[in-house]
Amino acid sequence: MPGKYVSDSYQITPGKRILIAGGGGFIGSHLSKRLMEEDKYYTVVADWADNIYYDVDTYCSEFHKFDLRDQFLSDLATEGCEEVFDLAADMGGMGFIESNHSLILQNSLRINLNLLASAVKHGVKLFFFSSSACVYPDFKQHGIDGDGGEIFTPNLKEEDAWPADVRSNAYGFEKLVAEEACKWAAHDSTVLEVRVARFHNIFGPMGTWKGGREKAPAAFCRKVLCNETTFPMWGDGLQTRSFLIVDECVEGVIRLMRSTCSEPTNIGSDHLISMNDMATMIMEFEGRTLEREHIPGPQGVRGRNSDNTNIKEWLGWAPTPGAEALREGLRRTYTWIKEKLELELSEGIDNRADYSGSVIFQGKADDDGETVRSGKV
């Protein structure tokens, strides 16, 4: 299927200067590395923190340790770039999101509005914004129907975002506001075009796996590796999500940017799994059997899944469906985290007791985006 918005006119131009804001982070670094290696673009990364897993020259052409909450630095990073990929945000997993609403809203909104203003100022032609499935209405994700009380998970289509109802988390609210800012910036400009992707739980190697900002797949892998008898889990484990390996996320972003699709577009797997079943899947990698310990903690919405109907029609492509794709991605993530743990042990560092649970961070970000830990759960 060719795809409704697939463009034949997009030309890959080696040496094209592009900005990847937030490129020191997980998705941004994978994206920059691929664009630099495969398309030979000149990738400029601007981030308030260094990437701790890649050497700079292996994933980008130029790195600037910039706090993009500063409009001057945003302008400086954007100048001379034909395209901007905005993946910059103050974010993490549910433990971080549920404990830092104000911090997330203020920091991320400043960054995203600054980058849009810089793009308009410098005549950027194409602007990508990394939104999130968290923009979808709370009332569509509560997981209980109104009649029999059965648990269900809706497949969320792009048009479901409106009428808006994002009262449960400032992260999703900020993303929706920034989506609108992108739309109207393009509307008012004679030059700028925008592309918006709504990510659904991206995971994989070379990402955060400890410390409080990690997401469920990495946290689950770490807990399986660091516990002997029990597996602590927030909630009853019946919460449901879909998860997408980072390589396919990057593929989706690139295809979206090379299309003519200006509509917000889901980029996520449509394979649903409960937290209980994901824990079991990870335990099976090395034949481990841990008793689940269901404890109080942040859980987010009850259920969420990506509806990939539109991306198939619009781009003629969608992420690989099915449980096997998730299993393979989790296995890769598990193996990578295991290597990191073994490296620490070889250096005489044994943090397995600290890594056996989850940490909630809360506080004001400093110049490097770090936060103050409030406690372990």
Q: What is the pLDDT of residue 141?
A: 78
Q: What CA–CA distance (Å, rounded) separates 36 from 54?
A: 14
Q: What CA–CA distance (Å, rounded) separates 329 from 334?
A: 9
The DSSP code for 259 is B
Q: Is 171 among the catalytic positions?
A: yes
Residue with the bigger pLDDT between 373 and 176: it is: 176
Considering the candidates 41, 59, 171, 355, report the single residue annotated as catalytic.
171
CA torsion 71-92-141-198 (nearest 10°) is 50
User: Averaged over 304-314, what is the pLDDT?
Assistant: 96
Domain definitions of the chain by residue range: 17-376
Whether 351 shows a pLDDT value over 90: the answer reads yes
CA torsion 68-74-77-83 (nearest 10°) is 100
User: Alpha carbon of 271 to those of 274, 278, 319, 328: distances in Å?
Assistant: 10, 12, 10, 13
Q: What is the CATH number of domain 17-376?
A: 3.40.50.720
Q: What is the pLDDT of residue 362?
A: 61
What are the residues facing 234 on neighbouring strands?
295
Residue 199, Cβ neighbours under 10 Å: how many?
21
The DSSP code for 133 is G
The DSSP code for 6 is B
3-state secondary structure of 113: helix
Kind plus residue range of the DSSP H or E element containing 108:
helix 101-121
Q: What CA–CA distance (Å, rounded) separates 227 from 301?
A: 27
User: Averaged over 91-100, what is the pLDDT?
Assistant: 76
Q: What CA–CA distance (Å, rounded) separates 315 from 270?
A: 16
Q: What is the pLDDT of residue 148?
A: 46
Yes or no: say if 230 and 271 are a contact pair by the CB < 8 Å rule. no
Q: What is the pLDDT of residues 39-89, one digit of tens each?
A: 999 999 999 999 999 999 999 999 999 999 999 999 999 999 999 999 999
Q: What CA–CA distance (Å, rounded) separates 284 from 277?
A: 11
pLDDT category at 300 given cuts 50, 70, 90 is: confident
Q: What CA–CA distance (Å, rounded) separates 232 from 295?
A: 7
Yes or no: say if 127 and 192 are a contact pair by the CB < 8 Å rule. yes
**pTM of the predicted protein model:** 0.92
